[in-house]
Amino acid sequence: MRHTLLRFGSGFRPLFSVRRAQAAQMVIEPGGQEGGEDNRHRGADQWLYVVSGSGVATVDGRRVPLRVGRLLVIERGERHTIRNTGRTPLKTLNFYYPPAFDADGDPERTRPPVVSTSHACGRRRSPASLPGGWRPPPARPVLRSGEPAHEEGTGAGTQRQQREQALP
């Protein structure tokens, strides 16, 4: 079990990672923004929940208003910008699957995410040092239309299989 108290100081701060997910908090001051035209997470989905404030998210050219209670999922590879359009700080709680940032908030690029794992003698080790080592998450299947295929089951009659059979 892991836990922390969210303090929402300033900027972006990863909180911690477990297994294949990561939590982070972000504070954007009025008039500020995070991201830009080339901002995207090539290997992670981002779940953004608005805790306080207001703003706008632009995801692959589509604008989504942000206000308290809004949950936004930015899928891996989608270009996005988060802008504070309000008069108070925009505070968000973010989850990344799999982890997308190192402990300093820098994007993970070539190495596996650092996830601390306890073992019997109390030392902490990264997954790469565990038996079997670190393995990347399985690739998400993509239909020919470019839409991601979501696993709904494993039987012969799943929606995904029916869609794949319908393709020429």
**Residue 39 vs residues 13, 66, 81, 110: alpha-carbon distances, Å:** 17, 18, 7, 17
Q: Taking the CB of residue 87, how many other CB atoms lie within 10 A of it?
A: 9
* Each residue's pLDDT tens digit, 43-65: 999 999 999 999 999 999 999 99
11-97: CATH topology is Jelly Rolls (2.60.120)
Residue 93 pLDDT greater than 50, yes or no? yes
Q: For the whole prediction, is pTM greater than 0.85? A: no
91 confidence band (pLDDT: 50, 70, 90): very high
Query: By the 8 A CB rule, do 60 and 66 touch?
Result: no
Q: Where are the domains of the chain?
A: 11-97
115 confidence band (pLDDT: 50, 70, 90): very low
Can you tell me the distance from the alpha carbon of 155 to that of 144, in angstroms, rounded to the nearest whole number?
21
Q: Beta strands of 53-116 (E only): which ranges? A: 55-59, 62-66, 71-74, 80-84, 90-97
